[in-house]
Amino acid sequence: MLTIAWDVDDVLNNLMEAWLGEAWKPRHPECALSYSEITENPPHRLLGVPEFDYHSSLDAFRLSDGARVLKPNPVIAEWLRAFGGDYHHIALTARPLESASQAAEWTFRHFRTHIRAFAVVPGRLPSDVPGYHRNKSDFIRWFGKVDILIDDSEENIVAAREIGIRGVLYPQPWNRATASIQTVLESLNQLVEAN
């Protein structure tokens, strides 16, 4: 069986969209930026604020009840119900350690039938914490079991491909994915048929 590593934020859920609508805009009513206009990630330049301010707001939202009640991506949830048993699945997220346990709980609450492992590559790691892996491709190389990475970050997809892992870019306003979500998932079915 092939193993898929799923990014959590903005693939398995809609974290950025929820954060913008539930956390950022209520505190910044002058912000006219819509989710579809977030063409950069991180979007601090588009928001007109320092990157630190953006990360502080996002990190606070990650620990909030709003993040806890995020709905799972319905398209992926349906695909997993129909085809998930043909693969092994892990969640692979890049977020601060302070909110990793919340992301793990959320992931297992919604996707436990198929996703049985959770890994985190900590973002913005304090200097006194060991940095085992600098990025997702470092983790994947070390782990040695991932065949496909599904992620919304072009940088992560390029890095995965450089180490021989099939990277599937999940469409978001900040990346250059040209395929629809349905097309992305249909391509996974073709991989199973080819193996």
Rounded Cα distance between 27 and 76, Å, is 31
With contact defined as beta carbons under 8 Å apart, do 2 and 191 qualify?
yes
Q: Which CATH number does the domain housing residue 105 bear?
A: 3.40.50.1000
Global confidence as pTM? 0.95
Residues 64, 9, single domain; the answer is no
The confidence score (pLDDT) of residue 37 equals: 98
Residues 54, 75, single domain; the answer is no
Residues 106, 174, single domain; the answer is yes
The confidence score (pLDDT) of residue 190 equals: 81
Residues 57, 77, single domain; the answer is no
With contact defined as beta carbons under 8 Å apart, do 21 and 35 qualify?
yes
**Residues 27-66: tens digit of each pLDDT:** 999 999 999 999 999 999 999 999 999 999 999 999 999 9
Cis before residue 42, ω within 30 degrees of 0?
Answer: yes
Residues 24, 7, single domain; the answer is no
Angle between helices 74-83 and 100-111 (to 10 degrees): 50
- Host domain of residue 58: 15-68
Residues 27, 121, single domain; the answer is no
Residues 29, 99, single domain; the answer is no
Which residues, given as ranges, of the chain have pLDDT below 70? 192, 195
The confidence score (pLDDT) of residue 195 equals: 66
- Structural domain count, the chain: 2
Residues 105, 167, single domain; the answer is yes
Residues 167, 77, single domain; the answer is yes
